[in-house]
Every structure is written in structure tokens, then in C-alpha cells.
């Protein structure tokens, strides 16, 4: 049976996790039936796996999600279009270089000071100087000619500016200092109360929020591993908890499981350059003589049965992935490929790969079709997805050696070996960084495979410079596939995309977590981006 070995691995991982949960549960000495907390219908305790590094939006807090403590100029709707938030209107100049926003007059920071256009300009200029995860390199200036108007001047038309504006929370110029990231003031739906590092963050509702005070008044976000979170659910100590596909088979009285769709994908990079003894500027080796062959990359892509991996490895909590932005409005539906093992074999045979020594691995000119795929040790999902893919590709004579190691080692080897990566964002800017030639081999996790294409660069530039959403989307789609080539797996295939994870979440009965937008990458923070919409029944 095709997935026999992989099923055994998943069973072992599940048993191990379950054992940890039981151990943790016994240590607590509590259970959900005996210790359900009594809520005043105004509080929640949320267990997530990832702690933010800062609550400062100029340094990345809220990037790709709503920052909740701070207001944003515009915000995403559930279908990833935009609506006004702090702004009550905006327009773009005909040349695409000047954005002008008018600011509502009923927004106040929680210290009582009114939010002005000067705060907006200060925030954007501060974010640009920080050079963190918020990319504003294309912004020349942000200025406030009066209290209600902010004028943002760009060096070049940039179609993703609204996406960026939707994730930069506005900070108070009068109260911003080096400690802001650990004790923020904002004008969003929630106020910061307390942060105990590696333990919890506490928020409370902003009763003066211009959008109306949230129904959930008190919010405690605790940071837990998946097994500890499940133990906390069993003990009735949390109301909402992220889980994993392996652990979510447990039915717990008083809770339901919500499988929240995401673009949080798992797939691996394949170096497209040969090994010519070159290194990056940091001395990391570059190139792989096996994966540099297009037929190898495409054969791997066509040999993988994504639905089977989603069903078996992810316990049904996931979907096949075909790009970095499945489900997003700018995704090209033509990137979808069907599993076709015979076609994969044909690609190899036509290129001269054959199993000449009978060991089950094809070779060409004395080179075996064998390479390593790295994953971060301790990440059981990435490990299991990689092992499942390796089992499937071995059927066509390609051996993938799955290896767990630390991120420091991955960073050193990712330019010459495959890596099981994870991406996913509500911003097409991610596509730009993943594939632009300028970003190849730059010692970061974007484009370590060394993909470079003049045609792709032209589409990327056209998408970024587009003055309308439709024009931008058309070019983002051509980046993936223009009818002849592209970054898609049936094109140049620098990536083999495998699955999009469902964000599996335990939710206490009676609590509504609202209409969740499609989640990006991240284990927890995307969940709370619509926190002001959560309600208890009754």
C-alpha cells in the first residue's frame, strides 16, 4: 500500500503526542467536566503556539493580520477586499505616486489624545526607518498638511500599498518610545494590559473604540505547545486553543473543532542552479546537480499525491497546495496539476534518466537522482509531509533523504539542498520576494533556490506598478503561468507545493469566533485578527 510507511510514522507521532498530553493532563489533576470555568459572557482565554516578538506595528506586530491594539488606515474584509478603518476616504493620483487619506475625527488613543494625520505620518516614517518586516522602501515620504489629511509619496507606483496599510497599526507620536513594543498605546478595539514573556498577554476591550466596544471584554492569550494546549482544553482551562492535525482527533465534551482554511502552506524549495563550487556572500554552498534539472523538479511535482497526504498526514485537516497563494484573489487557477506518476516517469525517461543498476533509483551520466530535504527538527508536520512526499517520489526512482536539523544549519545549506518551507500571506508582496531575480541567494529565506527569470521579473514589476487592482492581479497571475512558462510546477518549478494546512482550533461551545478571513502563515496570531467580532451566545 502506497502510504503504509507514512501511516506508521504518523501513528507513532500521534501516539507520542497523545502520551505527552496525558502526562500533562495528569500533572494538572483537572478535567473539563469537573472544572469548566463560569464565564460572565465577556471573557476568553486563548491558547496559541507563537508569541510575538513585539507589539510595535512599525517593527512587525500585526504584519499580515490586524494588530487589534492599534487602528489601521484600511482593513481587510473576510473576502480580502478593503474597507475604511481609521481613514474615511482615500484616493490615488493618476501617476500612481501619491496616496491621499482623510482621517476620521472620532478616533482617540486610549490615553485620551485624538488620533491625527501627524500620527499616521509618524508611524509610516518610523516603520520605514525600522527596516523590519514592513517593507516601505518604495515610500519617499509621509506628511500631514493638516490634522485630518495625510499625503504619502512613493518613489514608484506600488500596487501592494493598501495591503501594507491594512497591517500597519498607527502609533501615537506623543507617546512612542523605545519601550513601546512591550507596553503599547493604540486606538484599536483592544487595550494592552500586561505581558508576561513566554506566558501570556492580557488585553481588555477599548470601551471608547469608534467602531463600537467589543462584546468580549477581557482577553488572555497564553502561549503553549500543542500538547499542553490540548491538555488545557481537556482541563477546561482555555476557551480556544490551536491544535494540530495529529491531535485533533480527540473529541472533548464542551468543545467543537473548527478547521479554519488557510494559505499556510508546506512545500519544498528545489535549487535550480548546478553545483559549480560557488557560495553566497556568507560562504554557504550554492547549487545542486540533481535538482538543477527541470525534469527532476517537475517529475517530483507530478509524482506527489497531495490529496492523499492531506488525508493521511494531516488527518483530513488540509488541502492540496499548488502555489504560494492558493485561495487568494490574485492566484492563477491554471497552476493546478493532477497527480500523474506515469507522466513523471516519462519526463525522466525522455531526459535520459534510467535505473541502470537495478537499485530503484534512476541515474544519468553516473549521477543518481538523489538529494536531501531538510526540515526544522521538532516540527512533526513538516517531517511527516516530507516523509510522505519522499515515499511517493521513490516510486518513480527519485530518492529524497529527509533530514531534521536546526534553523542555523538549514540557513547554511538551503542554497544547495531542498528545504520543507512554510509560507502564506494576504499580501501578494510575498510573491514578489519569493521569485524576483534580485532576491536570489541573499542569505534569507526568500528565493534560496536561486530562481531567476527576466520574464518573471517583468511580470512582477508590472504587477507592482499597476494602477488598478485588476491590472495587478492579471500580472500576478502571469508570474505563475502565462500560458508558456512561469513559477508554477508545470513551468520552471523552483518550488514543489504540497499542502495548505487547516488551522485546527478547539472552541468552547457557546463561543462564536466570527467569520474568519483565510489565514496566512503562523500558529496563532491570524486567529485573533477579528477578535472584536467574537461573542458568547446567550
327 pLDDT band, cuts 50/70/90, is: confident
538 pLDDT band, cuts 50/70/90, is: low
| Residue 106 grid coordinates | 472620532
According to DSSP, residue 7 is labeled H
pLDDT value of position 376? 94
36 pLDDT band, cuts 50/70/90, is: very low
- Whole-number Å distance between alpha carbons of 449 and 442: 10
Is pLDDT of 7 > 50? no
Winning range, highest mean pLDDT, from 74-83, 308-317, 441-450:
308-317
38 pLDDT band, cuts 50/70/90, is: very low
- CA distances to 382, 392, 419 from 268, in Å: 10, 14, 5
- CA distances to 62, 63, 163, 490 from 169, in Å: 7, 9, 12, 39
Domain 1-51+197-262+502-538 has CATH 3.40.640.10: no
User: What average pLDDT is seen over the chain?
Assistant: 89
Question: Could you write out the three-class secondary structure of 272-292?
Answer: CCCCCCCECCCCCECCCCCCC
Is pLDDT of 262 > 90? no
Is pLDDT of 29 > 60? no
Give the end-to-end CA distance of the chain in Å, rounded to a whole number.
50
pTM of the model: 0.84
Is pLDDT of 261 > 90? no
Is pLDDT of 4 > 80? no
Mean pLDDT, residues 423-442 = 88
Residue 529, SS3 per DSSP: helix
Is pLDDT of 348 > 70? yes
Write the class of the CATH domain 57-180: alpha beta
Residue 83, SS3 per DSSP: strand
Is pLDDT of 2 > 60? no
Order of strands across the sheet with 149-154?
87-92, 98-103, 149-154, 139-146
Asked which of 24-38, 167-181, 256-270, 352-366 is least confident by mean pLDDT, the reply is 24-38
pLDDT value of position 179? 94
Domain ranges in the chain? 1-51+197-262+502-538, 57-180, 265-501
Residue 162, SS3 per DSSP: helix
- Whole-number Å distance between alpha carbons of 244 and 444: 27
Asked which of 61-65, 258-262, 504-508 is least confident by mean pLDDT, the reply is 61-65
- CA distances to 60, 447, 507 from 64, in Å: 9, 20, 23
pLDDT value of position 525? 75
One fold for both 57-180 and 265-501? no
Is pLDDT of 132 > 90? no
Asked if residues 104 and 97 have their Cβ atoms less than 8 Å apart, the reply is no
Write the class of the CATH domain 265-501: alpha beta
517 pLDDT band, cuts 50/70/90, is: confident
Residue 393, SS3 per DSSP: helix
- Whole-number Å distance between alpha carbons of 232 and 405: 29
Mean pLDDT, residues 296-319 = 95
17 pLDDT band, cuts 50/70/90, is: very low
DSSP output for 215-242: S--EEEEEE--HHHHHHHHHTT--SEEE
Amino acid at each position: 500500500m502506497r502510504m503504509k510507511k507514512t501511516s506508521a510514522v504518523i501513528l507513532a507521532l500521534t501516539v507520542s503526542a497523545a502520551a505527552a498530553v496525558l502526562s500533562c493532563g495528569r500533572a494538572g489533576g483537572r478535567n473539563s467536566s469537573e472544572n469548566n470555568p463560569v464565564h460572565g459572557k465577556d471573557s476568553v482565554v486563548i491558547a496559541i503556539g507563537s508569541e510575538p516578538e513585539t507589539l510595535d506595528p512599525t517593527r512587525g506586530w500585526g504584519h499580515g493580520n490586524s494588530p487589534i491594539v492599534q487602528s489601521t488606515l484600511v482593513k481587510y474584509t473576510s473576502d480580502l477586499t478593503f474597507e475604511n478603518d481609521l481613514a474615511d476616504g482615500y484616493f490615488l493620483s493618476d501617476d500612481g505616486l501619491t496616496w491621499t487619506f482623510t482621517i476620521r475625527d472620532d478616533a482617540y488613543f486610549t490615553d485620551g489624545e485624538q488620533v491625527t494625520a501627524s500620527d499616521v505620518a509618524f508611524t509610516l516614517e518610523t516603520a520605514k526607518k525600522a527596516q523590519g518586516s514592513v517593507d516601505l522602501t518604495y515610500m519617499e515620504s509621509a506628511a500631514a498638511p493638516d490634522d485630518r489629511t495625510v499625503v504619502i509619496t512613493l518613489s514608484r507606483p506600488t500596487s501592494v500599498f493598501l495591503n501594507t496599510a491594512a497591517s500597519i497599526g498607527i502609533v501615537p507620536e506623543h507617546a512612542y518610545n523605545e519601550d513601546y513594543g512591550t507596553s503599547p498605546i493604540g486606538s484599536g478595539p483592544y487595550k494592552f494590559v500586561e505581558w508576561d514573556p513566554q506566558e501570556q498577554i492580557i488585553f481588555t476591550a477599548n470601551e471608547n473604540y469608534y467602531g463600537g466596544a467589543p462584546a468580549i471584554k477581557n482577553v488572555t492569550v497564553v502561549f503553549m505547545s500543542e500538547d499542553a494546549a490540548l491538555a488545557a482544553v481537556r482541563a477546561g482551562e482555555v476557551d480556544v486553543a490551536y491544535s494540530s492535525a495529529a491531535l485533533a482527533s480527540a473529541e472533548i465534551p464542551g468543545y467543537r473543532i473548527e478547521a479554519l482554511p488557510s494559505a499556510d502552506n508546506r512545500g519544498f524549495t528545489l535549487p535550480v542552479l548546478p553545483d559549480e563550487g560557488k557560495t553566497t556572500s556568507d560562504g554557504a554552498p550554492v547549487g545542486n546537480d540533481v535538482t538543477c534539472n527541470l525534469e527532476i523538479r517537475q517529475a517530483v511535482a507530478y509524482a506527489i499525491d497531495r490529496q492523499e497526504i492531506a488525508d493521511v498526514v494531516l488527518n483530513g485537516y488540509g488541502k492540496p497546495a499548488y502555489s504560494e497563494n492558493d485561495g487568494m484573489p490574485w492566484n492563477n487557477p491554471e497552476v493546478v496539476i493532477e497527480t500523474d506518476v506515469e507522466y513523471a516517469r516519462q519526463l525522466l525517461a525522455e531526459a535520459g534518466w534510467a535505473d541502470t543498476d537495478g537499485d530503484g533509483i534512476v541515474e544519468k551520466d553516473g549521477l543518481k537522482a538523489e538529494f536531501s530535504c531538510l526540515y526544522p527538527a521538532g516540527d512533526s508536520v513538516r517531517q511527516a509531509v516530507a516523509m510522505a512526499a519522499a515515499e511517493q517520489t521513490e516510486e518513480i526512482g527519485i530518492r529524497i533523504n529527509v533530514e531534521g536539523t536546526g534553523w542555523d544549519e538549514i540557513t547554511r545549506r538551503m542554497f544547495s539542498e531542498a528545504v520543507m518551507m512554510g509560507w502564506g500571506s494576504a499580501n501578494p508582496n510575498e510573491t514578489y520576494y519569493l521569485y524576483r531575480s534580485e532576491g536570489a541567494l541573499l542569505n534569507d529565506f526568500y528565493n534560496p533556490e536561486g530562481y531567476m527569470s527576466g520574464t518573471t521579473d517583468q511580470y512582477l514589476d508590472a504587477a507592482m506598478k499597476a494602477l488598478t487592482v485588476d491590472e495587478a492581479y492579471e500580472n500576478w497571475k502571469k508570474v505563475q503561468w502565462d500560458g508558456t512558462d512561469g513559477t508554477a510546477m508545470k513551468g520552471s518549478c523552483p518550488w514543489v507545493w504540497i499542502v495548505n494546512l487547516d488551522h485546527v482550533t478547539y472552541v468552547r461551545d457557546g463561543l462564536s469566533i466570527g467569520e474568519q478571513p483565510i489565514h496566512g502563515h503562523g500558529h496563532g496570531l491570524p486567529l485573533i485578527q477579528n477578535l472584536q467580532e467574537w461573542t458568547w451566545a446567550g
